[in-house]
Copies of this chain bind each other. A is one copy, B any other.
């Protein structure tokens, strides 16, 4: 049951996009904390794009935890539990390592010097599922747990209308050898003995959970057997990645709310195939940017961040032109290539390569499409 409007607090949401010179570089955030531009208590979530291999994700996360541990006066482990930190690893092409920090302040009453905006503005909410058992990864149980957590994150954001949700980022647990052994020791069976396949199923179930919460699909359509099998079921507003460091599913929701005083708005669009720049345009106008293609540099300057979920590696051709992502000697890096080309195409529209690209097409958009969410600054 969504909260009544009158119960919803006023919020302000700020967004900081900071470059990294290396996975361990948290100097940008440190500087903002030192200057008092950000209060550590207000940080609600962090989404990063790290270079290097998967290990760099943990490294970046640890460095952020150590930094925030000083400011929050809690242990690094407690920082991890408190703030969802979604590290998207593996860069390619023009992708530019960086992190986005979401900061939220809540006010029980409208601050006296402020007047509410005439339109809905950026709202961000978070929630976690309970810890999942390894044997629950990739199952209907995970679908339902994620759906329920997404609903809580939406409520946490103060968003009342599902149409106002534009981007749901989920980090779910990946399967690990230790988790398989744990399940076996309890006589339980995991969905696949192959680590990668089990993790893919974990992502697939999470994506269906998003779709369910956003009512893009109905509960009757989803069973254990549709997970990763029925490609006609998908969310167009979600992006999922998996990590062995997670034991629960962690959710960040971005949308717009009438109770937000933020100077940003978020929107989304779908690139039907890799060359569909109109899908980027849709996301930008959905976020409130008045523009047409090609954008002016003034319009580009108002785009604060773009999140792209990339689907090139779910295909072997674009507009009937064969590509070699899966057949050539770099086929082991298909996901990197998919992100590199999507990053390039979106960057050429928005004028900036330092945007977030993630791979993985499991129930995240129609096969071969890209999902685009954009945060736009609508007031100075």
- Interface residue ranges, A against B (CB under 8 Å): 19, 21-24, 51-56, 58-59, 62-63, 91-97, 274-275, 277-278, 293-294, 312, 317-319, 321-325, 327-333, 336-337, 340-345, 347-348, 351-354
Q: How far is the CA of A283 from the CA of B240 in the complex (A)?
A: 40
| A24, A93, A348 pick with most chain B CB within 10 angstroms | A93
With a cutoff of 8 Å between Cβ atoms, the chain B residues found around residue A94 in the complex are: 274, 312, 318, 321, 323, 325, 341
Q: Is the CB of A319 within 8 A of B274?
A: no
How many chain copies? 4
Q: Which 4 A-B pairs have the closest CB atoms?
A: A332-B332, A59-B59, A341-B344, A96-B321
Q: When the two chains form their complex, are residues A328 and B52 in contact, meaning their CB atoms are under 8 A apart?
A: yes
Q: 5 pairs across A/B with beta carbons < 8 Å? A: A51-B324, A59-B62, A97-B322, A319-B351, A337-B340
Excluding A62-B63, A274-B353, A275-B352, 10 further A-B contacts by CB distance (< 8 Å) are A24-B59, A52-B55, A53-B53, A55-B55, A92-B324, A92-B328, A94-B325, A318-B347, A318-B353, A330-B330
Contact between A325 and B54, CB atoms less than 8 A apart: no
For A332, the chain B residues whose CB sits under 8 A away are 330-333
Task: Kindly list chain B residues whose C-beta atoms are within 8 Å of the C-beta of A93.
Answer: 93, 312, 323, 325, 337, 340-341
